């Protein structure tokens, strides 16, 4: 059995310490956001993986409050933008204004938009025009924006939490596949359970409403993100990720069901998301390496927005979640 050197011992100690701090952060969020433990876990997984999350749920399920609470608990500079049909790219990125300096000399000065933060809440992102939606693409992928030919670097870390309302479809612009693929996970936000809604009822209508407190600093969060990428992944887990992602794409490696019903499957970003997500979930749960259970738990949020069924499959009553459950049996 190979011996553990001093560097490995330090990494293990750092992972255990980070896991403990993240557990406290998760508990602090849970005192404000009721009955959404799985949603909170998946958002934290996206942040630990250095990615972005798309929240899909009906109004009134605390999606906006979740973003505000996350910013406070994780020590991030948080800003919120309400996306509307008349929102312009400059309203997000910023713009140049003409200033007159002493001596009458005029020059352009860049005024930063709300994207210059560490946690951006893009509320009802599918209500904005495709032009405005695409303004986020470069920021989400490359962590900088270009205005008037000049590149401006965004603060680190930088994460986008976007929300969509699945009920109202009039006046919306569906996100293009290229932008959907840039979200590490799509999280379906369910209605709370009876017990959770009862707790929320009394906690939010009394004289004093509970508030969140800062648990992590920005430096501690970035260190946790660094440690997440150092968690070792076993060969069995890595092979399972590759097998299930490739089996979800129509082609020679897929079965008859996928070839018949799936219009397009997940890109290689899905493999990366599963690998990072499995590591992050293990860290959140106090483990030093991910397992197949982590992969299966994350298949739905990673695959939902990266796959589409064809018209015939939808007409026959097949669903994306049902297809994902079928794929999960390959590694169960």
Q: Tokens 């979930």 map to which residue?
A: 281
User: Which of 210, 230, 250 marks a domain boundary?
Assistant: 230
Residues 34 and 49 in one domain: yes
With 0-12 / 13-18 / 19 or more C-beta atoms within 10 angstroms meaning exposed / middle / buried, residue 293 is middle
Q: State the pLDDT at residue 138.
A: 76
Contact (Cβ atoms closer than 8 angstroms) between residue 97 and residue 107 = no
Q: State the pLDDT at residue 330.
A: 82
| 266 contact partners, CB below 8 Å, separation of at least 6 | 245, 248, 249, 302, 303, 306, 307
pLDDT tens across 125-139, in order? 888 888 888 888 778
**Highest-scoring range by mean pLDDT, 30-39, 150-159, 265-274:** 265-274
Residues 7 and 147 in one domain: yes
| 257 contact partners, CB below 8 Å, separation of at least 6 | 323, 326
Distance from C-alpha of 17 to C-alpha of 49, rounded to nearest angstrom: 18
Contact (Cβ atoms closer than 8 angstroms) between residue 42 and residue 187 = yes
Phi–psi pair at 184, nearest 5 degrees: -60, -40
Q: Is the pLDDT at 168 greater than 70, yes or no?
A: no
> In terms of pLDDT, which residue wins out, 261 or 3?
261
Residues 180 and 318 in one domain: no
Residues 277 and 216 in one domain: no
Residues β-bridged to residue 108: 98
Q: State the pLDDT at residue 1.
A: 45
Residues 59 and 84 in one domain: yes
Q: Is the pLDDT at 252 greater than 90, yes or no?
A: no
Q: State the pLDDT at residue 167.
A: 58
Distance from C-alpha of 100 to C-alpha of 109, rounded to nearest angstrom: 10
Question: Confidence band (pLDDT; 50, 70, 90) for 171?
Answer: low
Q: Is the pLDDT at 281 greater than 90, yes or no?
A: yes
Residues 200 and 238 in one domain: no
Residues 223 and 312 in one domain: no
Q: State the pLDDT at residue 43.
A: 92
Residues 208 and 246 in one domain: no
Average pLDDT of 257-286?
91
How would DSSP label each residue in 109-171? Answer: EEEE-TTSSSEEEEETGGGS-HHHHHHHHHHHHHSEEEETTEEEEPPSS-EEEEEE-SS--TT
Residues 128 and 248 in one domain: no
Domain with 154 in it = 1-230
- Cα–Cα nearest to 136, from 184, 85, 175: 175
Q: State the pLDDT at residue 6.
A: 73
Stated pTM of the model = 0.88
pLDDT tens across 38-87, in order? 888 999 999 999 899 999 887 777 788 888 888 888 888 888 888 888 88
**Share of residues in the chain with pLDDT > 90 (%):** 20
Residues 224 and 244 in one domain: no
Distance from C-alpha of 145 to C-alpha of 137, rounded to nearest angstrom: 9
Average pLDDT of 253-270?
88
| 173 contact partners, CB below 8 Å, separation of at least 6 | 126, 127, 128, 129, 130, 133
Residues 213 and 245 in one domain: no
Phi–psi pair at 217, nearest 5 degrees: -95, 165
Question: Confidence band (pLDDT; 50, 70, 90) for 155?
Answer: confident
Q: State the pLDDT at residue 208.
A: 66
The DSSP H or E segment spanning 95 is: strand 94-100
| 106 contact partners, CB below 8 Å, separation of at least 6 | 98, 99, 100
Average pLDDT of 186-190?
88
Question: Confidence band (pLDDT; 50, 70, 90) for 146?
Answer: confident
User: Which of 230, 264, 291 marks a domain boundary?
Assistant: 230
Mean residue pLDDT across the chain: 85
Distance from C-alpha of 244 to C-alpha of 62, rounded to nearest angstrom: 33
How distant is the alpha carbon of residue 12 from its chain centre? Answer: 26
**Share of residues in the chain with pLDDT > 70 (%):** 94
Residues 180 and 111 in one domain: yes
Average pLDDT of 94-118?
79
Task: Report the CATH number at residue 292.
Answer: 1.10.8.80
User: Which of 230, 252, 275 marks a domain boundary?
Assistant: 230
Q: Tokens 């459950």 map to which residue?
A: 325
The torsion region of residue 62 among left (phi > 0), alpha (psi -120 to 50) and beta comes to left
Distance from C-alpha of 229 to C-alpha of 163, rounded to nearest angstrom: 27
Q: State the pLDDT at residue 273.
A: 93
Question: Confidence band (pLDDT; 50, 70, 90) for 270?
Answer: very high
Total count of domains within the chain: 2
> In terms of pLDDT, which residue wins out, 165 or 237?
237
Q: Is the pLDDT at 255 greater than 70, yes or no?
A: yes
Q: Is the pLDDT at 166 greater than 50, yes or no?
A: yes
Q: Is the pLDDT at 265 greater than 70, yes or no?
A: yes
Task: Report the CATH number at residue 89.
Answer: 3.40.50.300
């Amino acid at each position: 059995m190979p011996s553990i050197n001093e560097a490995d011992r330090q990494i293990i100690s750092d992972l255990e310490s980070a896991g403990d701090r993240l557990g406290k952060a998760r508990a602090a969020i849970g005192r404000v956001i009721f009955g959404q433990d799985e949603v909170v876990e998946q958002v934290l997984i996206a942040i630990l993986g250095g990615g972005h999350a798309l929240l899909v749920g009906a109004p009134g399920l605390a999606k906006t409050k979740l973003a505000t609470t996350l910013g406070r608990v994780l020590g991030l500079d948080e800003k919120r933008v309400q996306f509307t049909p008349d929102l312009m790219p400059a309203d997000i990125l910023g713009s140049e204004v003409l200033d007159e300096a002493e001596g009458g000399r005029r020059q352009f000065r860049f005024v930063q938009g709300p994207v210059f933060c560490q946690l951006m809440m893009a509320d009802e992102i599918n209500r904005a025009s495709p032009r405005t939606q695409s303004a986020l693409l470069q920021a989400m992928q490359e962590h900088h924006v270009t205005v008037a030919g000049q590149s401006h670097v965004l603060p680190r870390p930088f994460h986008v939490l976007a929300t969509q309302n699945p009920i109202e479809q009039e006046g919306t612009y569906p996100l293009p596949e290229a932008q959907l693929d840039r979200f590490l996970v799509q999280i379906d936000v369910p209605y709370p359970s009876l017990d959770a809604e009862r707790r929320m009822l009394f906690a939010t209508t009394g004289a004093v409403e509970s508030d969140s407190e800062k648990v992590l600093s920005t430096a501690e969060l970035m260190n946790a993100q660094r440690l997440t990428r150092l968690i070792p992944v076993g060969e069995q887990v890595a092979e399972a990720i590759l097998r299930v992602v490739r089996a979800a794409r129509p082609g020679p490696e897929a079965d008859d069901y996928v070839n018949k019903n799936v219009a397009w499957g997940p890109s290689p970003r899905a493999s990366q998301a599963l690998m990072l997500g499995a590591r992050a979930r293990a860290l959140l749960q106090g483990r030093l390496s991910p397992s197949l259970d982590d992969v299966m738990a994350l298949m739905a949020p990673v695959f939902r927005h990266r796959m589409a069924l064809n018209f015939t499959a939808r007409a026959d009553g097949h669903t994306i979640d049902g297809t994902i459950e079928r794929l999960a049996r390959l590694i169960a």
